[in-house]
Structure 1
Amino acid sequence: MENKLDLKALLDYIDPAFLDYQEWLNVGMALRYEGYTASDWEEWSKRDGQRYHPGECFKKWTTFEGSGITGATITQMAKDNGWEPHRSSEDERELSWDDEISGNDDYVVIDKNWIEGMEISEPTIWNPVKELTTYLETLFEASENVGYVVSTWQNDEGKHLPTKGNWDRTAGELIQALNESDGDIGAVLGDYNPEAGAWIRFNPLDGKGVKNENVTEYRYALVESDTMDLEKQNAIMRELELPIAALVYSGKKSIHAIVKIDAANYDEYRKRVDYLYNVCKKNGLNIDNQNRNPSRLSRMPGVERNGKKQFIIDTNIGKANWEEWENWIEDVNDDLPDPESLTDFWEHMPELAPPLIEGVLRQGHKMLMAGPSKAGKSFALIELSIAIAEGAKWIGWQCTQGKVLYVNLELDRASALHRFKDVYHALGLQPNNIDNIDIWNLRGKSVPMDKLAPKLIRRAQKKNYIAVIIDPIYKVLTGDENSADQMAHFTNQFDKIATELGSSVIYCHHHSKGTQGNKKSMDRASGSGVFARDPDALIDLVELEITDELRKQQEGAVMAEMYSKAIQQANFDYFDEHVGLDDQQSVTQMNTHAKRVLNPERLQQVELEITKAVESIRVRSAWRVEGTLREYPKFSPVNMWFQYPVHKVDDTGFLKDIEPEGEQPPWKKNFNKKKSPQEKKKEQNESLEIAYESCTIDGTVTLEALSEFMGVTPKTVRNRIKNHGGFWITNGEVGRKPDK
């Protein structure tokens, strides 16, 4: 297991008592997959004394073959519970595909490197009864049952461990008995072992036992660290303003902070304790992860342990309650700027971001290009990449020159590189600045956008890109594109990229189904309206209807023009004297003139060029570019031709009066036809195939991963796999059947 993490060490961060049954099984499956033994799983499972059954792990072990659950499952669980991987020379190595930006500054309140320790002093007057009664009065209502332990047993190493203890008396009964004990707490609780000390449970019980299920109020949690100086523990807990009900010295090497959680139920308790522990760890407090249980024992104040006193350091310090503390933590770390007064800037306004695309988009802002599949959107974005690299025009708009990153999610590497070269040639541009273009080829390796964004940022931070182009976004799209909430989370990733890199983010998306000519530009993109409203500039492509009559008219104009140029080049005097304006509009007349002026070889060459030009006209499509802009006034529609592999603006005005597809009078519009079963099945199969390809980045594709990616239930994914016929599913793992 060389160069692999020690998963047994990571299990120290995972408490089986906090896992549901499936999560517990997943740990076992992961251990088997990574070559560990059933004994390793068994030993860890013993920590859940409530549900542990001897021999159960060995019985289930043999059923785990081929589960597909890897050690990554344990690694993630450990991370969720505070484990952080050790990294050496992090900034000096190249990032691997799975590296992410972890956001290590979240919830950091104090600088752990500069905090000064706070000394702890023993009570000058030792009053055991007062210590314990103060603790009980602070934490419990008089009618609540209290669990405590004074008896111990010794393990094989000779360590004193607590028994289950007592839980049959209320706080009020204990306080009354202690006050009447004449200072002898042993007369009330029973004599304790002065080598071991005594323990008490900080949450009230139902009087029937001491397990989690016997806890009646999820009021407190224990924060303890036994690997740090006592003074530093004390200082950090106070600087964090933890809502501490009681701060107790354990009599050895740790402080026990009984923190107010005030959870309504067990699930909320778990979430709040996870949050609490995460904040503590982020701020340098090395938490003991075994203390999460609400029925956990803590050190009882008022007793002695191996010659040292267990005593209350303080009570009711920090924030008043959980809600106040959590709000304070969130406010400190919200990274939001403070409100500004307009009067401070009225005479000295900040400079606007410089343009990236003149009149359309500023640097550091976002742009969406939307259009149907046949619009050549990828070619248009390659054209934009080249225009930025060379400082040239794009669809008639001047671009600022600079470095650009093109994130290719769809084409294989060779095809992507060839496309750039083909577009350069078709545009007639010299590749003088191709070093300004970086291409990140991720076909077959795409991940959801929230995971891709930090990886992209890390790779791009020192490149000084002024634009990042992501093509296409459906490869990194997760969830339901019609959900505003899910798509808002998705588009927020573009904000992160733009903010972190200071570059524009440009991406493309497809139109919704059906004709688009009768819609506004911002309503054509498929899915939630978030797509159209989120970017600072929306560039939309809609196809123009070119009838056969119009196409023939254009073919004739091009043919006549090419004959005209050839004649002028061969004999300008003849052209000036014999070719009138009416002749110049007629293909037949121009052909007659050409035969008179051009020699047979030249005539044959011109007719060959005309044939090629006519063929290119017949296969090209016409498009209208419209837009919605946030920073600039609305621009007039731009008409252009898509003549593979580039778009060319129509400078002739030929397309000006042509209507987009679907922009007919209401009485001409076709009613939407109901999709046939075959059409529905085709769409579902395509959706499944896209999801499967996108999920292969994690190696094994699981039913759960497909369900999350597609935004449907696992049951729906199973049905679609069955209907598709090209995939198999076993124990939650999904694979593609070999081609026959």
Structure 2
Amino acid sequence: MEHNQYDLLEVLDHIEPAELDYQQWVNVGMALEIEGYGVDVWDAWSRRDPGRYHPGECRKKWAGFHGAGSPVTGGTLVQYAREQGWTPPCDPGVALGWDDTISAEGVVVDSNWVEDKDVQEPLRWNPADELIRYLEALFEAGENVGYVVKSWQKDEKWLPADKGAYDRTAGELIEALSACGGDIGKVLGDYNSEAGAWIRFNPLDGKGVRNENVTEYRYALVESDSMEIGKQHALIRELELPVACLVHSGRKSLHAIVRIDAADYGEYRRRVDYLYDICRRNGLEIDQQNRNPSRLSRMPGVIRGSQKQFLVDTNIGKGSWEEWKEWIESVNDDLPDPEGLGDVWEQMPELAPCLIEGVLRQGHKMLIAGPSKAGKSFLLIELCIAIAEGRKWLSWQCAQGRVLYVNLELDRASCLHRFKDVYQAMGLPPEHLGNIDIWNLRGKSRPMDKLAPMLIRRAAKKNYIAVIIDPIYKVITGDENSADQMANFCNQFDKVCTELKVATIYCHHHSKGSQGGKKSMDRASGSGVFARDPDAMLDMIELELSEDVLKAEENKAVCAACKQYLDAHFKWEDDLSEDDLCSAYQMMNYCENLLDKWQWLNLQRIVEEAKKRARGLTAWRIEGTLREFPKFPAVNAWFSYPVHQMDTVGVLGDIQPEAEMPPWKRAMDKRKPKEQKAKERKESIATAYDACTTDGKVTVSDLAEYLGVTEKTIRNRLKEHGGFVIDDSEVRKKT
């Protein structure tokens, strides 16, 4: 069961009793009883809600739990903790032993090697001054302060007798204390010197002392009753806790008032949980009952028995919560140490083997970018099959091994059928289907920062050499136009590569609008991080096919259909010339004379289908931006559903991609009426002038560079336009 994977006492630390209703509170007790814990655990935890805690009530309820018909188990505690924002320290799917160390994150000191640090009483005892320094360190002058001076005794222990005062401001108290002559009883009221006195460290609204009366979630209490006070002192300082005030309790503990600076109660709880967890990991055994923001702490400047409650220090450790948390995380950054190049010059480490020859190494990242309808998903499925079978993908040889395809877009049936269709279209026998695993997540995907650890857990020990994620827009976290957010997003792919030692391959779409004038690595939608982060980027751009090219492909398709039909039905002699075999007219004429009526009708139907497929062909140019290998010549391929096929003839080599032409040139290249061409020339000049004015004055050479023509052409067009003047190569609009 899930709860067996966690320390239930740690889980209980993340449940606030004040957030539960009565039945849920009872359920916690039942769960602890059934899991073998004692009533004292339930009672100690219940004390964290002093407003509803009643001494002895836990023991009365406990007696009735034994033998309950439908016992509540520890899983309920895990559920309550999750509902209150707790995140388990490890994925629930990974079973850990009770003595396993979950993580070393946050460990900055070894408590076994920390020497005790003495705590010195103040040489000059001025009670009022002690309390004034405390108030000045924690409160603004106009903020209400809560404190309790009355006490009562239970089992030889002195406890606060009431809610105390909570409607006086820090400024009022400081003014009164400054004039009391050191007798704080005149200001606060007399207290029992055997019991001491208490004060609340967060400001209140003046209406009560519950959590909802706290106006600023500024501080939290760190206290330990189970360690030597010198050890407490040393660890608090070694941990660099952002302590605003450190108070000696007058007995066996220090009270550290730690800066939390939370925006609301939810953030306060999360930060306090983090604080307590770091303290626990570093050997500072703290009292878990002190989480409430309205908690009472020991007041400096009073006597408790034979000792003083005094202010040990103020403003120690880091200056803020953010600074402290950043320091904690930086100490545990698990980054490698720098190494000297001279140490490895003669014994260089081996490079990772190639996954895709000349394009991508194993353990690296690759992005495929392209517009819609480019067949990117089919291209990735083709890559899966090429890796599984150890075959070529487009023009590149692939290493053979196991691959995981993460399907985020297709329903399960469609995805599986697509794999089978691509296998058959590629003409490959499915000899190594066991090398392909498919993780179907349509409708169940998570943001990449949540998906990455789940993927890593499932892929561990599977010996994959590649993980393919299709497509990434389904798992993007944050704004895709934000460089820092996308850098964090791309880091998740690094985690997959590092943890699994696999290549991670994913696809992304082009940005909307014309791609004219853009470099291949700048066409992907969103931040440039997408293109600059991976080790290899392949960009697909469509080639605009002319009518002549389409007719040529149609002719080839007809010839191939005729030959295939003849081979299937006849032992025909090759009585056609090589030229005839490449002519649709000659092939159809030959077949019409050879076939009977029904055969001829059947062939005509097949030929029409072939023509339709030929007309449906799209052509693509694939360019690469590589980090590990030299740039390769652009690769041209046809996409004939459902596979891409290399242009082995070279018919696509001379076609310029439409998206690489500026808009004005695409218009000029098409045959249009003379009047329309003149109009477009005028518009192109006006558009170019407006674009160039953003940099200041506009010259003839600026316009020529923008439009990609000569300066002579620009001068002619400016003259034709009539709305501009040229003054020593500077172009201005006529006024």
TM-score range, shorter chain: 0.5 to 0.7
Whether contact under 8 Å (2:3, 2:78) holds in the other structure is no
What per-residue deviation string (whole Å, max 9, x for no partner) do you get for residues 508-547 of structure 1?
A: 1222234546543223222332222222222122222234
Q: Secondary structure at the match of 2:456?
A: helix
- The equivalent position to 1:641 in structure 2, one of 638, 659, 674, is 638
Q: CA deviation at 1:390?
A: 1.8
What amino acid is aligned across from residue 505 of structure 1 in structure 2? T
Tell me which moved more, 139-148 or 533-542.
139-148
Of the candidates 615, 618, 621, which is equivalent to residue 618 of structure 2?
621
Say if 1:131 and 1:89 are closer, same or farther in 2 by CA, change over 3 A: farther
Deviates more, 1:360-369 or 1:198-207: 198-207
Tell me which amino acid in the other structure corresponds to 2:622. Answer: V
Number of the residue aligned with 2:455: 456
Residues 15 and 520 from structure 1, CA distance in 2 versus in 1: closer, same or farther, beyond 3 angstroms?
A: farther
Q: Distance in 2 between matches of 1:444 and 1:653?
A: 42
CA–CA distance in structure 2, aligned partners of residues 301 and 569 of structure 1? 101
- Counterpart CA distance in 1 for 2:568 and 2:206 is 108
**Correspondence for 2:673:** none
Structure 1 residues 174 and 127: alpha-carbon distance in aligned structure 2, compared to 1, 3 A threshold = farther
Kept after mapping to 2: 8 A contact 1:539/1:628: yes
Letter matched to residue 319 of structure 1: G
Partner of 2:703: none
How does 1:101-500 map onto structure 2 within 5 Å?
Answer: 104-111=103-110, 115=112, 129=125, 140=136, 149-152=148-151, 160-165=160-165, 174=177, 191-194=190-193, 196-201=195-200, 221-226=220-225, 233-234=232-233, 236-244=235-243, 247-250=246-249, 254-259=253-258, 276-277=275-276, 279-283=278-282, 285=284, 287-288=286-287, 291=290, 296-300=295-299, 309=307, 311=309, 314-315=312-313, 319=317, 321-322=319-320, 325-326=324-325, 328-500=327-499
Is the contact between residue 236 and residue 285 of structure 1 (CA under 8 Å) also seen in structure 2? yes
Number of matched pairs: 612
**Superposed displacement of residue 401, structure 1:** 1.7
Q: Which runs of 5+ in 1 are unaligned?
A: 17-23, 37-42, 50-69, 94-101, 672-740
Partner of residue 95 from structure 2, selected from 69, 73, 91? 91
Counterpart Cα distance in 1 of 2:501 and 2:467: 10
Residue type of the alignment partner of 1:509:
H
CA distance 1:430–1:286, change in 2 (3 Å) = farther
- Give the superposition deviation at 1:189: 6.3
Q: Distance in 2 between matches of 1:654 and 1:144?
A: 79
| Superposition deviation, residue 407 in structure 1 | 0.5
Is the counterpart of residue 512 in structure 1 residue 516 in structure 2? no
Q: C-alpha offsets along residues 665-706 of structure 1, whole Å, 9 cap, x if unaligned?
A: 6445469xxxxxxxxxxxxxxxxxxxxxxxxxxxxxxxxxxx
Equivalent AA in structure 1 for residue 511 of structure 2: S
Cα distance change on mapping 1:325 and 1:475 into 2, 3 Å: closer
Contact 2:544–2:657 (CA<8 Å) still a contact in 1? yes
Residue type at the aligned position of 1:192: Y
Could you tell me which residue of structure 2 aligns to residue 527 of structure 1? 526
Task: String of CA shifts for 1:290-330, please: whole Å, max 9, x gaps.
Answer: 6567775321357565x674555954696364477455324
Deviates more, 1:291-300 or 1:375-384: 291-300
Q: 1:493 is matched by which residue type in structure 2?
A: Q
- How far 1:469 moved relative to its partner? 0.7
Larger radius of gyration: 2
Quick one: structure 1 residues 240 and 654, their matched pair in 2 at CA, closer, same or farther if it must change by over 3 Å? same
- Measured in 2, the distance between the counterparts of 1:86 and 1:354 equals 32
Contact 1:15 1:48 in 2 (8 A): no
Is residue 543–residue 658 contact of structure 2 (8 Å, CA) maintained in 1? yes
Q: Deviations over 1:78-105 (max 9, x none)?
A: 446xx86899994269xxxxxxxx9954
User: In the aligned structure 2, how far is the partner of 1:217 from the partner of 1:613?
Assistant: 75
Q: Contact 1:118–1:232 (CA<8 Å) still a contact in 2?
A: yes
Report the alpha carbon displacement of residue 440 of structure 1 after superposing the two structures with TM: 0.7
Which one-letter code corresponds to 1:161 in the other structure? A
How far did residue 445 of structure 1 move? 0.7
SS of corresponding position for 1:115: helix
Does the CA-based 8 Å contact 1:570-1:597 persist in structure 2? no
Matched, 1:632 2:629: yes
1:208 & 1:565 partners in 2: Cα distance?
Answer: 92
In structure 2, the partner of 1:550 is: 549
**Is the CA contact 1:143–1:172 (under 8 Å) kept in the aligned structure 2?**
no
After superposition, the C-alpha distances for 1:624-653 in whole angstroms (9 at most, x for unaligned) are 212222222221111112222221112121
- CA drift of 1:358 comes to 1.2
Query: Does the CA-based 8 Å contact 1:201-1:296 persist in structure 2?
Result: yes
Kept in 2: contact 1:384–1:394 (CA 8 A): yes
Q: CA deviation at 1:500?
A: 2.2
Q: Structure 1: how far apart are the matches of 2:193 and 2:443?
A: 65
Cα 1:603/1:229, change in 2 over 3 Å: farther
Instruction: Report the more deviating stretch, 307-316 or 433-442.
Output: 307-316
1:315/1:667 CA distance change after superposition, 3 Å: closer
Letter in 1 for 2:298: R
Aligned partner of 1:438: which letter? D
SS at match of 1:382: helix
Is the CA contact (8 Å cut-off) linking 1:141 and 1:171 kept in structure 2? no
Other-structure match for 2:540: 541
User: Deviation digits for residues 480-502 of structure 1, max 9, x if unmatched?
Assistant: 43333433332232222222222
User: In structure 2, do the counterparts of structure 1 residues 541 and 325 end up closer, same or farther at CA, with 3 Å as the change threshold?
Assistant: closer
Render the CA deviation track for 1:117-147: whole Å, top value 9, x for unaligned: 8779898x99994688567557747999887
Q: Which has the higher contact order (CA 8 A, sep 6+)?
A: 1
Q: Name the structure 2 match of 1:657.
A: 654
What SS class does the counterpart of residue 550 from structure 1 fall into?
helix
Distance across 2 between alignment mates of 1:569 and 1:207: 95
Q: Please give the secondary structure, in 1, of the residue aligned with 2:236.
A: helix
Q: Conserved in 2, the CA contact under 8 Å of 1:221 and 1:294?
A: yes
Amino acid at match of 2:554: E
Q: Quote the sequence identity (%).
A: 54
* Contact 1:517-1:662 within 8 A present in 2 as well: yes
Equivalent-residue separation in structure 2 for 1:521 and 1:30 (angstroms): 62
Q: Distance in 2 between matches of 1:411 and 1:288?
A: 52
Query: RMSD value over aligned CA atoms?
Result: 5.5
Q: Secondary structure at the match of 1:373?
A: coil
TM-score (ref. length: structure 2): 0.66
Aligned equivalents of 1:624, 1:412: Cα separation in 2: 29
Contact kept? 1:407, 1:471, Cα under 8 Å: yes
Counterparts of 2:83 and 2:617 in 1: how far apart (Å)?
55
Would the aligned equivalents of 1:468 and 1:503 in 2 still touch at CA under 8 Å?
yes
